[in-house]
Amino acid sequence: MIVGIVGILIVGAWLVWFFIDQASRQVPFDVAVYPGAEFWGENDVQPGGRNLFYRTPDSPELVAEFYQLRLNEYYGDAEQFCVRIPPEGVNEGLENNPNAVLYQFKCMFDRSGFNATQFTQVIIYPGRYNPDPFFNAEGLTIVKYEQQWQQ
Q: Is the peptide bond before 86 cis (omega within 30 degrees of 0)?
A: yes
3-state secondary structure of 42: strand
Report how many domains make up the chain: 1
Q: What is the pLDDT of residue 151?
A: 80
Range of the domain at 47: 2-149
Residue 85 pLDDT grade (very low, low, confident, very high; cuts 50, 70, 90): very high
CA 91, chain centre distance (Å): 22
Residues 6+ apart with CB under 8 A from 13: none
- Predicted TM-score (pTM) above 0.95: no
**pLDDT tens-digit readout, 30-72:** 999 999 999 999 988 788 899 999 999 999 999 999 999 999 9
More confident residue, 19 or 82: 82
Q: What is the pLDDT of residue 116?
A: 81
Percent of the chain with pLDDT over 90: 54
Q: What is the pLDDT of residue 101?
A: 92
- State which amino acid sits at residue 70: R
**pLDDT tens-digit readout, 119-133:** 999 999 999 998 888
